[in-house]
Amino acid sequence: MSTWRIASRFFRHDWRRYVAFVGSTAFTVMIYFLYTALSMHPDLQGGYPYARQAVQGMKAAAVVIAIFAFLFLLYSSSSFVRLRMKELGLLSLLGVSKRQLIQIILGENLIIAAVSLAAGLGVGLLLLKLFFMGISALLRLPRELPFSAGVGVWLRTILVFGGMFAAVSVASLRAVLRRSVVELVRAGRKPKAAPRFSAWRLALGLLLLIGGYLWAGSPNPTMVVTGVVPVTLIVSLATLILIREASIACLSWLHGWGRYYYRPGPFLTISQLAYKIQDNYRVLAATAILVAVILTAIGTAFTLYALSTSDAVNTYPIAVQLVQYGGTDERPSIAAVHAVLAKHGLDRMPRRELVALRGRLTGRKLDVAVVPYSFYREIRADGREALNSGDDHEAILVFPRALLHGQRKEAESWNDRVQIGEEELALTVKPDEAGRLVNPGRHLLYNLVVSDVVYDGLANRVAPGQRIHISMWTGDWRGRAMQQASSELSALFAGQEKKLVSTTTGQYQAQVTQMGLLVFIGVFVSLVFIAACFSLLYSRLFTDIEEDRRYACRLQQVGVTTRELRGQALSQMAVIFFLPFVVGLVHSTVAMHALGTLTRRTVLHYGWGAALLFLFLFGAFFLGTGQLYWRALQDGLQREARSGVF
């Protein structure tokens, strides 16, 4: 038999072990192919709004996927090599030369690479059109992206993944060739030590976890922002330590609880589970972290999507706003805006005029638009007096409210000076972070509110060049007529004048598009992670199956019934599957709480919504894999039963 036939026979014989590995690799290839095809699409290389961001996003996502895929391949193939050790050892015992051994390993890797690439590219090609349709809709492209997958796309995908496979093959070759024949044959036969936990490692893990959680749970946004990277590292480390130590500690405790432990279910499950967790804690920790990342990514994307759309009205509070800088009294564009509104039946919208004054807050080094207190009161309209009417040296600085709140807390009030043209005034300034007064624009981001008396005096004295005329139409911005009027206005005020007119509706649509894209990219990257996560669990399950078969067989011999065996096998599997999920969920809940601190809202439900979705996926995967696993276990048992017990 040629070495090639041996390699291909390995592959056919043990397809269950390969299927997860090949499947998830093919899936990763497919996603990479789709992203690359999109980022290299000729129509997106210029022109469309947001297209540049989309391409950037896709490119970044492709890099993340490639790095991740490489780590995944490296891990999976090393666990493969461990499985193969004994077979390869036997082959070399039977006289297969080193050269032939290398050929077998390379042959096997070549088959895996070829099948994964072919399947990934094939399915990718089938889905490409659908993918383009989805992206075109999300980006609101005027014309759907035509089908396009140039040589470059294929070449890049094949080169990137081919390179990875080559590197991984070299790594597995090294692992095998470093060992002697005896080591190969004996691999995996060493008796395992009984699982014990170490109290100090448990304490260290708990300390790290609590520390990380407290940091992330801090009510101070600055702490939260600076904590993102260190907390992730600390909590990952804590997970790695705790998933082993805490699980074994719990199981030991249950083990010591005689009345509970000495019953069929726990008796058969607990002791073996401790061994399984000891053997697999790295994979479990990696899965838990992946689950946490996935849930947080999807939860964050949903949150930003939901908040940004509701925030359109906070960032652009005025339904339609027209701005004119300079001091000319001729403002023909008001008529143009009015005409568009009238065309869509919106001419009844109340209009308000405001002249803001361009100034500079010298202490804070901020460009501000000075507005009168009477205007501020109309907008805020809560009946509370924010300024002492008698004191002309008081002012309010209105901050733009950011979606993510990272800046430091403002002081109660401070002394500052405002400069408007040649004029300069000393003021006591109070902050206001309750939201914008007008839509943003040049000089309009920060608004300084002064008393009407001060404002009138300044307005009379400053040069016309310091004035900003703002026309504001207020009212409902959600209607269909408003949508049409908004897009007509942005078409009308193109080029230089683009920034002069702004609408809440336009902002809302932009947010929906941008954030929709973010969600889309986030969900796709998460899909790759999910596939990896499932594949890790699956391959782990089938790596141990020989051992599990032996165990089940022994149990069967002492009279454990098939139903009891199934219950034992599935309950162990359930713990292996859902332990990382629960840990990941707790981590992501803390992360979502931190996001809540940044957005000053409760956003936990977005994270939990994502978790519920993921739970369905996970549950379905558990049921499917459970079936496969039980069938594989039964196959072995039946083989055993056919050959008799003795």
Contact residues: another protein, CB under 8 A: 191-192, 194, 258-259, 262-264, 267, 271-272, 274-275, 551, 554-564, 641, 644-646
Looking at beta carbons only, is 352 or 639 nearer to another protein?
639
DSSP annotation of 469: E
Tell me if 53 sits within 8 A of 144, measured CB to CB.
no
For the bound state, the minimum distance from the C-beta of residue 263 to another protein, rounded and expressed in Å, comes to: 7
Give Cβ neighbours of residue 577 (< 8 Å, ≥ 6 apart): 537, 618, 622, 625
CA distance 18 to 25: 10
For the bound state, the minimum distance from the C-beta of residue 66 to another protein, rounded and expressed in Å, comes to: 40
Looking at beta carbons only, is 491 or 558 nearer to another protein?
558
For the bound state, the minimum distance from the C-beta of residue 89 to another protein, rounded and expressed in Å, comes to: 21
How far, in Å, are 86, 275, 560, 566 from residue 547 at the CA level? Answer: 14, 11, 17, 16
How far, in Å, are 35, 74, 384, 532 from residue 24 at the CA level? Answer: 17, 13, 61, 6
Give Cβ neighbours of residue 621 (< 8 Å, ≥ 6 apart): 534
- AA identity, residue 581: F
For the bound state, the minimum distance from the C-beta of residue 252 to another protein, rounded and expressed in Å, comes to: 13
For the bound state, the minimum distance from the C-beta of residue 563 to another protein, rounded and expressed in Å, comes to: 7
Looking at beta carbons only, is 552 or 595 nearer to another protein?
552
For the bound state, the minimum distance from the C-beta of residue 200 to another protein, rounded and expressed in Å, comes to: 24
Looking at beta carbons only, is 291 or 541 nearer to another protein?
541
For the bound state, the minimum distance from the C-beta of residue 83 to another protein, rounded and expressed in Å, comes to: 19
Return the exposure string of 104-117: e unless at least 16 CB atoms fall within 10 Å of the residue's CB, then b. bbbbbbbbbbebbb
Looking at beta carbons only, is 483 or 556 nearer to another protein?
556
How far, in Å, are 95, 180, 418, 484 from residue 86 at the CA level? Answer: 14, 11, 81, 71
Looking at beta carbons only, is 188 or 345 nearer to another protein?
188
SS3 269: helix
SS3 391: coil
Looking at beta carbons only, is 258 or 390 nearer to another protein?
258
Looking at beta carbons only, is 389 or 557 nearer to another protein?
557
CA distance 93 to 318: 81
For the bound state, the minimum distance from the C-beta of residue 581 to another protein, rounded and expressed in Å, comes to: 24
Angle at which helices 545-557 and 504-543 pack, to 10 degrees?
Answer: 50
For the bound state, the minimum distance from the C-beta of residue 538 to another protein, rounded and expressed in Å, comes to: 23
Looking at beta carbons only, is 2 or 557 nearer to another protein?
557
For the bound state, the minimum distance from the C-beta of residue 267 to another protein, rounded and expressed in Å, comes to: 5
For the bound state, the minimum distance from the C-beta of residue 238 to another protein, rounded and expressed in Å, comes to: 27
Return the exposure string of 322-360: e unless at least 16 CB atoms fall within 10 Å of the residue's CB, then b. bbbeeeeeeeebeebbbebbeebebeebebeebbbbbbb
CA distance 610 to 618: 12
Looking at beta carbons only, is 524 or 630 nearer to another protein?
630
CA distance 71 to 84: 20
CA distance 315 to 505: 11
Length, in residues, of the chain:
646
Tell me if 604 sits within 8 A of 596, measured CB to CB.
yes
Give Cβ neighbours of residue 616 (< 8 Å, ≥ 6 apart): none
Looking at beta carbons only, is 275 or 473 nearer to another protein?
275
For the bound state, the minimum distance from the C-beta of residue 259 to another protein, rounded and expressed in Å, comes to: 6
Residue 135 has a CB neighbour count (10 Å cut-off) of: 21
For the bound state, the minimum distance from the C-beta of residue 527 to another protein, rounded and expressed in Å, comes to: 37
Looking at beta carbons only, is 346 or 633 nearer to another protein?
633
Tell me if 26 sits within 8 A of 119, measured CB to CB.
yes
Looking at beta carbons only, is 218 or 271 nearer to another protein?
271
